[in-house]
Amino acid sequence: MKRKVPKTLGLAMFCCVMLCSIQQAFSQQLKSISGLVKDEQGIPMPSVGVSLVGTSQGTVTSTDGAYKISAPQNATLLFSFIGYEKQTVKVTANWDGNVIMVPDKKTKNLNEVVVVAYGTQKKANLTGSVASIGSKELQDRPVTNLNDALQGTMAGVTVTTTGGQPGTSGNINIRGIGTLNNSDPMVVVDGIIGSLSDVSPNDVQSVSVLKDAASASIYGSRAANGVILISTKRGKSGKMQVNYNGYFGNQKPSNLPDFLPSWQAATLYNQALANEGQTPYWTADDITKFKDQTDPDTHPNTDWQGFLYKGSGFQQNHAVHISGGDEKTQYAFSLGYFQQDGIIAKSNFKRYSTRMNINSALTKKFNINANLSFLYAPTEAPDGLGGGDIGGIIGTTAAMSSTVVNQYKNGVYNYLSFGNPIAWLNSPGYNNNQNTLFTGNVGAVWEPLKGLHFKPSFAYRYNANPAQEFKPADVYYDPKNPSSVLTTISQSSLANANVVNSYYNLQGLLEYDRTFGKHSINALAGASQELTNYQYLYAHRQNFLNGSLSQIDAAPSLGQQNAGTASQLALLSYFGRVRYSYDDKYLLEANIRDDGSSRFARGQQWGVFPSFSAGWNISKESFFESLSNTIPLLKLRASWGKLGNQTLVNPNNSSQTLASMGALNIVSPYPAISVISGGQNYSFNQTLAPGIALNNGANPLITWEKSTTTDVGFDMELLNSKLSFTADYFVKNTNDILLQLPASNVYGFTTPYQNAGSVRNKGWEFAAVYRDKIGSVSYNIAVNASFIANKITDLAGTGSISSGLVVGEPIKAFYGYQVEGIFQTQQQVAQHAKQSGGVIGPGDLMYKDISGPNGTPDGVIDGNDRVYLGTPFPKTTFGFTLGAGWHGFNVSAFFQGALGVKNYVQGFELGSLQQPNIGNPTKALLDAWTPENTSATFPRLWSTYSQNNPQSFVSSFWVRNASYLRLKNLLISYNIPGKPLQRIGVKGVRIYYSGQNILTFTSFYKWVDPETSAGNNAYGSYPQLKTNTLGIEVSF
C-alpha cells in the first residue's frame, strides 16, 4: 500500500532543492578577491575592516595590509578603519584589488597631536602659538640640513641662507630679532638641548616651533628667542619595516658676478682715471692685445671664476630606517650617509649618522626608553695665505683683474703683492674640522596610580670638534727660469685646535592626567639639574721643511704658540604646568619655571618665568551645532608670559675654529664675575716675567634679560575641514638687555655689562591649508605669511649710526645718505651743499643736505645727513606650496620669499677699478655716466675717489630693494604599483626628482643672490646653489 507524503513535507523538500540549486548557481559566480590596503604614504595598514555590502560576510587585513575575500562580480566591498574615510569599491574585472585609505579630514584634524614642551597635546586644544611640520614635508624637500628645510614652511620663522658652502646652514629667528645679544632659538632634540645640526633630516618625525611665551615659558631662561622641538622617528607595534631612501644630485651656482673681459676692464679703468684727471694707464695697443689675445702671458683675458669654481658639485644621500616591535617593545634604528662636494675644489662635507630609539614595557605600569645617537661630520676646505680660509680665497679671486695672468704658458703661477688665490687653492693647504657628536637620553615611566606618571631621565651630550689649518709656504718662481725662486711671501704654518663640549642633564617629571566626566586636568611638576663643560686647546708652529709635512712636531719650536681655556656653566630649575579643559570647550593653561644660573652673582642667580593662556572652542557650543559640518573648528585663544635670556655668546658654536676659538671672550660666560687672564707679562728686575691678572670689568648686579609676550589668535577649519586657517597677533617686549656701557679711560678694565637695552617686536602671522579632490586628482594649497616690525626702544644713551643701532629703528639697520640724483653740470655742483670724497663733478651722486650739528641743513654733507635706509631683516616673509596627486603621480612646488628687505653690495662684489691689476668691473659699470651718456643708471666711474663708493658713502642709491620670490623646491614623484613588487618582497617604491632654488625673481642685482650677507664685498661670499637630484625610496 502506498503511503502519501504529507503536503508540508513535500513543500519543504521542494524548497531545499531549489535553495541548493540557487546557492550552487550563486557560488559558481563568486570570485576570490585579494589585494593590499595602504595609507597615503604607501604603508600597509593592518586591521582594516573589509566587508561585502548587503551581507554579513567580511574579514580584516593582516599585519602587512593584505586581505582575501570571496565576492560575486559587480558586488561592492566596503573598507573601513577608525580615523579614515570609508572606501567603497565595485568589483570589476579590471580592478587589481588594491585600496588607498584616506584620513578622515574632520576626525584627523580634530584629533591631531603635536609635540609641545615635555609632552604632546591635541592640536585642537592648544592655547599657545605652536607651528609644526611632519616627516612628509621634510621628505618632499631633500635638503642638506634642517635649517634650510624649515625656510618658508611656518609663519613667524625666518630662515636666512647667505650661501651654499658645504657644511654650513642658514640663520633662524623666531618672531624677529629679540635681543642685541645671541638671538638663536633654543633647540631640543628628543629632550636634549642641542642644535639643528645634531640630527640628520632623514631621522626627523616632526618639528614643532614654540613661538609665544605660553608655549615656551616652561623652558624659562633659554626660551626668549623661541624653542624648536625635534622628535625623531619611533618604532610601532607590528611586523618589522625596512625603508631605504637615497638620492644623487648635482649643484651649480645660482648666480655669479658677471665680470667683464680684460679689454673692457682696461677701457673702463682708463675712463675712471680720466674722471679723476689722470692719464690713461692702458694704451690703445694694450687694449687691442687684450681683445685679440695674441700674447696671453702679458695681455691675458683671465677668467678667475672659471679657475675657482671647478668643484664637481656632486651630492648624495643614503638612509636606512628599520622599525617594528610588539605590544611590549618597539624599536627604531637608522643609518645615514650624506656627502656634499662643493663647487670649489677641495671643499666638501660628509655626515655619518646612526640613531637608536627603543621603548619597552617591563610591566603594565613600568617601562623604560632610550634614545641614542652618534654623528660624525668632517668638513674640508682649501686654505691660503692671503685671505686665510675659503672665504678669503673667494674674495681675493674676485679682486684679481682679468688683465692679470694666472699661470704662464710654462705653468708657473703669476702673483701680486699678496699672492695668487688659485695657487693657494691648488696648494697642499687645508682648513678642516671633524665634528663628532654623541647624545644619549635614557629614562623610565612608572605609573604608581592611575593617571599618575613619574618620569625620571638622564641626558648626556658630548661634542668634540678638532680642527686643523695648514698654510704651506707661499713661494713664487721666475717664469723665465722656473727653478729659480722669485719671492716667498710667507712661510708655512700649522694651527691645531680642539673644542670639547659636554652636557649633563638629570631630570625628573611627575605628571597627572585624568578625565572626570567633562572635566580634564593635566598637571606637570619637574626639576632638572644641568651642567655644561667647555674646553679649548690651541697649538701653532711654523716654518715646516716642505708642504708634505703637516704635523705639529715636524716644525721647529722656535716661535711656537699655544693657548687654552675652559669654562663651566650650571643651571638648576624647578618648573610646573597645569592644564584644564571643560568638555574640550573652555581651555586654561598656566606654566611657571624657576631657574638658577651660575652665570650671575649671588642674589641675582634666580629668575621666575610664568605664563598664562586660555582658549574658547566656540565650535563646541550648542548654539554652533548647526554649523559643525561647515565649520568643524573655531577656537579663540590668548596668552601672556615672561621669558629669559642669559646667553651673550653661544658656547656650543662649533663653527668657531682655530685661532678664532681662542678669541672667544671668556668674560662672556661670566659677565658678573671677575676672571683671571693669562699672558699678562711684566718686567721684573729687567727680565720679562709671565703673569696673570684681572682685566675684565665685572658687574655683580646684572641679571637675566627678560621678554614678555602677549599673543591673541584664532584657529578655524571650514568646508568640512578641507580648509584650515590660523592667525596670530603678538607683541614681544625685551627689557634689561645686557650692554657694555661706556666707562672712563681711567677705569682700567674692559667695560662691564649692564641691564640697559630694550627691543620690541610685534606683528601678524597667518597660515592656511586647503585640501580637496576632483575625481581621482587630489590637490592641496598651503600658504603662510608673517609681518614683523622690529624696533630698538632703549640703548641707555649708547648706540650709533655706524653700529646700526639707533633707538626707534630696527636692529642692524642701514644708515646712509639720501641721493637726490646725479649731478649733470658743474653749475649744479657749485650751487649744491659741499660734498667730500674727491673732486666733485658732473656724474657724481648728489646727496641731500638734511641736517647739521644744530639739526637744520648747514650746506655741508657730513655724518649729520645720514638717515635710516632700511633693514636686511625682512618685514614680511612668506611661503606657499602647490601640490597635486593622480594615480601614484605627485607634483609639489614650494615657493618662498621675503618683502620689505633692503641690502647692498660693495667692493669687488659690485665691481672695482681700484688698480690696473686689482678689481674687476661688472656689467653694471657699462652704463656709467659720461658726458655722452647723461641718462646713465650708474654714476661716473672712480678709482681712488670715494664720493660715489658705497664702501665710503653708503646711500639710498646703493641700498636697494632685495625682496624676492624663489621657487625653493620642485618635487615630481611616482609610486610604483605594489602588486608586481610583492613577488620580490617589496612593499612600495617611490622614485622622484627634486630641484632646490630653481628660480628666483628679484629686482636686486642679477648676479647677486638677494639673501647675500649685508654689504657683501665678495669676501666669504660662497655662492647660493641650485641643486637637482634624482632619488628612490623603497619599503620592505
pLDDT digits 0-9 by tens, 55-85: 878 888 887 788 988 888 788 899 988 778 8
Residues 158 and 119 in one domain: yes
What pLDDT does 500 receive? 94
Q: Choose the weakest-confidence range: 102-111, 238-247, 434-443, 1007-1016.
A: 102-111
Other Cβ atoms less than 10 A from the Cβ of 617: the count is 22
Single out the residue in 103, 129, 163 at which a domain terminates: 103
What pLDDT does 530 receive? 94
Q: Is the pLDDT of residue 988 over 90?
A: no
Average pLDDT of 46-63? 85
Single out the residue in 846, 865, 884 at which a domain terminates: 865
Confidence class for position 674, pLDDT limits 50, 70, 90: confident
Cα Rg for the chain, rounded, in angstroms?
A: 34
Beta strands per DSSP E along 841-962: 845-847, 867-870, 876-886, 889-899, 902-903, 960-961
What pLDDT does 133 receive? 86
Average pLDDT of 768-797? 93
Backbone dihedral angles phi then psi of residue 652, each to the nearest 5 degrees: -100, 20
Residues 196 and 84 in one domain: no
SS3 659: helix
Q: Is residue 287 part of a domain?
A: no
Which single residue is written with the C-alpha cell 624653542?
227
Number of domains comprising the chain: 3
Backbone dihedral angles phi then psi of residue 153, each to the nearest 5 degrees: -90, -20
Q: What is the model's pTM?
A: 0.85
Q: Is the pLDDT of residue 661 over 60?
A: no
Indicate which CATH number applies to the domain containing 206.
2.170.130.10
Q: Is the pLDDT of residue 11 over 60?
A: no
Q: How far is CA 38 from the centre of its chain?
A: 33
Q: Is residue 257 part of a domain?
A: no
What pLDDT does 537 receive? 93
What pLDDT does 385 receive? 66
Indicate which CATH number applies to the domain containing 96.
2.60.40.1120
Confidence class for position 670, pLDDT limits 50, 70, 90: confident
What pLDDT does 1031 receive? 94
Residues 143 and 205 in one domain: yes
Alpha helix (H) residue ranges in 642-729: 658-662
Q: Is residue 284 part of a domain?
A: no
DSSP 856: S
What pLDDT does 25 receive? 43
Alpha helix (H) residue ranges in 736-825: none
Pairing of strands 682-684, 687-689: antiparallel
Longest CA–CA span in the chain (Å) reads: 152
Helix (H) or strand (E) holding 537: strand 519-542
Average pLDDT of 790-815? 89
SS3 509: strand
Determine the Cα–Cα distance for residues 772 and 721; give it in Å rounded to an integer. Answer: 10
**Residue 495 β-bridge partners:** 469, 540
Q: Is residue 842 part of a domain?
A: yes
What pLDDT does 842 receive? 95
Determine the Cα–Cα distance for residues 291 and 289; give it in Å rounded to an integer. Answer: 5
Average pLDDT of 601-625? 92
Q: Is residue 936 part of a domain?
A: no
| Whether 467 contacts 432, CB under 8 Å | yes
Q: Is the pLDDT of residue 14 over 70?
A: no
Confidence class for position 276, pLDDT limits 50, 70, 90: very high
Determine the Cα–Cα distance for residues 267 and 914; give it in Å rounded to an integer. Answer: 14
Other Cβ atoms less than 10 A from the Cβ of 863: the count is 12
Q: Is the pLDDT of residue 245 over 90?
A: yes
Which single residue is written with the C-alpha cell 642692524?
812
What pLDDT does 109 receive? 55
What pLDDT does 667 receive? 40
Q: Is the pLDDT of residue 758 over 50?
A: yes
What pLDDT does 984 receive? 79
Other Cβ atoms less than 10 A from the Cβ of 802: the count is 10
Residues 157 and 117 in one domain: yes
Give the model confidence (pLDDT) of 183-213 as tens digits.
889 999 999 999 988 999 999 999 999 999 8
Backbone dihedral angles phi then psi of residue 284, each to the nearest 5 degrees: -60, -35
Angle at 659 between CA 428 and CA 399, to 5 degrees: 60
Determine the Cα–Cα distance for residues 528 and 94; give it in Å rounded to an integer. Answer: 62
Q: Is the pLDDT of residue 767 over 80?
A: yes
Residues 121 and 96 in one domain: no
Q: Is the pLDDT of residue 658 over 60?
A: no
What pLDDT does 996 receive? 92
Residue 111's nearest CA partner among 679, 633, 505, 572 is 633
Single out the residue in 103, 137, 168 at which a domain terminates: 103
**Amino acid identity, residue 967?**
L
| Whether 338 contacts 317, CB under 8 Å | yes
Residues 197 and 180 in one domain: yes
Residues 142 and 219 in one domain: yes
| Whether 1031 contacts 245, CB under 8 Å | yes
Determine the Cα–Cα distance for residues 645 and 600; give it in Å rounded to an integer. Answer: 12
All cell numbers assigned to 495: 694651527
Residues 113 and 96 in one domain: no
Determine the Cα–Cα distance for residues 958 and 906; give it in Å rounded to an integer. Answer: 8
Residues 111 and 229 in one domain: yes
Backbone dihedral angles phi then psi of residue 299, each to the nearest 5 degrees: -135, 70
Angle at 494 between CA 490 and CA 498, to 5 degrees: 145
| Whether 667 contacts 643, CB under 8 Å | no
Q: Is residue 393 part of a domain?
A: no
Confidence class for position 21, pLDDT limits 50, 70, 90: very low
Residue 641's nearest CA partner among 184, 137, 154, 117 is 117
What pLDDT does 535 receive? 92
Determine the Cα–Cα distance for residues 653 and 665; give it in Å rounded to an integer. Answer: 13
Residues 194 and 77 in one domain: no
**Which domain does 87 fall in, by range?**
27-103
Q: Is the pLDDT of residue 650 over 60?
A: no
Residue 594's nearest CA partner among 579, 576, 612, 569 is 576
Average pLDDT of 340-366? 94
Average pLDDT of 215-242? 89
Residues 124 and 98 in one domain: no
Beta strands per DSSP E along 583-696: 586-597, 606-617, 633-645, 676-677, 682-684, 687-689, 693-694
Residues 91 and 123 in one domain: no
What pLDDT does 959 receive? 93
Determine the Cα–Cα distance for residues 498 and 500; give it in Å rounded to an integer. Answer: 7
| Residue positions counted in the chain | 1036
Q: Is residue 706 part of a domain?
A: no
Q: Is the pLDDT of residue 652 over 50?
A: no
Q: Is the pLDDT of residue 802 over 70?
A: yes
Q: Is the pLDDT of residue 663 over 90?
A: no
